[in-house]
Amino acid sequence: MFASVLRDHMPEAGPLLVGLAIALVALGRYLIFAGGALGIITLFRRPLRFRQIQKIPFTSTQMTREFLYSLSSFIVFASVGLAGFRLNETVGFFAIYKVPDQYGWVWFALSVPVALLVHDFYFYWAHRFMHQPGIFERVHRIHHLSTNPSPLAAFAFHPLEAVIEALGFILILTVVPMHPLAFLIVSTLMITINVIGHLGYELYPSGLQASAFGKFLNTATGHNQHHRAFSFNYGLYTLVWDRLFKTTHPHYEATFDALTARQSAGPDSPLSDKGNLS
């Protein structure tokens, strides 16, 4: 989207500039969202300690690796994005539209959740595919080197996995007609929920699992469990597909409830600090 905006305003912009724009926007948002999240949980680690999912600190080795692999992913995103952009110039397969009236504001609003669900479905199956023995070691292992991921792990992918993730975005741009602004909203929600998944702290309210929406919303607890136990909670934004295909972690709700209940237990509670939840 940024590439197309750039092209419209600067028709001379060479391919290098378009690629650079994709990489820099991805990097900028990563630094703000993942860096901001890391800052908040570091600053408030005392009051948040009851909500820490695994009671072990992030190591600097781990965070350096997560950071460098995320940078590497942005190079791949820019490459795949620019290749898709160039291919679209010749073949024209992107469904993106520029005049909001073309589909109306109702579709504009609907296109966001539709794109999220389509992307979530792609992500779920691509993710399960990457957990297949033989594929896992070559493609997805790098992301799982963090068994207690920090927010910086949001884009810590092997280059091949980065290609698979980038194709998810090519897919939604192809099948869901979206206004560039709707795509901006979708990609911002993606990075937000991605960072929340790797937060290491459960910040959602305790009653979440009781509501229909909360039951399907993916959480920090859900994705942290995935990093530790591998074969559960494959979803990105939601647990819709996990619930449908029966891959939610058996202790998911119990862990979530325990983590969120402990805040109200207070610092003097016998439960505080000790007690390692799995």
- Closer residue to other proteins, CB minimum distance, 96 or 258: 96
> What SS3 state is found at 238?
strand
Residue 62 interacting with other proteins (CB under 8 A): no
Amino acid at 203: L
How far is the C-alpha of 269 from the C-alpha of 272, rounded, in Å?
5
Q: How far is the CB of 27 from other proteins (least distance, A)?
A: 13
Q: Which two tokens mark 223? A: 């994705």
Nearer to other proteins, 136 or 204 (CB): 136
Separation of CA 67 from chain center:
15
User: Does the protein bind other proteins through residue 60 (CB under 8 A)?
Assistant: no
Q: Could you say whether residue 180 binds other proteins (CB under 8 A)?
A: no
132 to 171, contacts with other proteins by CB under 8 A? Answer: 142, 158-159, 162-163
CA atoms within 13 A on the CB side of 92: 1
93 or 105: whose CB is closer to other proteins? Answer: 93
Q: Are the beta carbons of 73 and 152 closer than 8 angstroms?
A: no
- Secondary structure (3-state) at 79: helix
Regarding 104 and contact with other proteins (CB under 8 A), the answer is no
Find the binding residues for other proteins in span 67-96 (CB under 8 A): 68-69, 72-73, 75-76, 78-80, 82-83, 85-92
- 45 vs 138, which CB is nearer to other proteins? 138
- Residue 59 has, within 13 A of its CA and on its CB side, a CA count of 7
Residue type, 21: A
CA distances from 59 to 65, 114, 116 (A): 10, 38, 32
Q: Among 2, 17, 29, 65, which residue sits at the site for other proteins (rule: CB under 8 A)?
A: 65
Can residue 114 be called a binding residue for other proteins (CB under 8 A)? no
Residue 103 to residue 76: CA distance in whole angstroms: 32
Nearer to other proteins among residue 79 and residue 206 (C-beta): 79
Which parts of this chain interact with other proteins (CB under 8 A)?
8, 11-12, 15, 19, 65, 68-69, 72-73, 75-76, 78-80, 82-83, 85-92, 98-99, 142, 158-159, 162-163
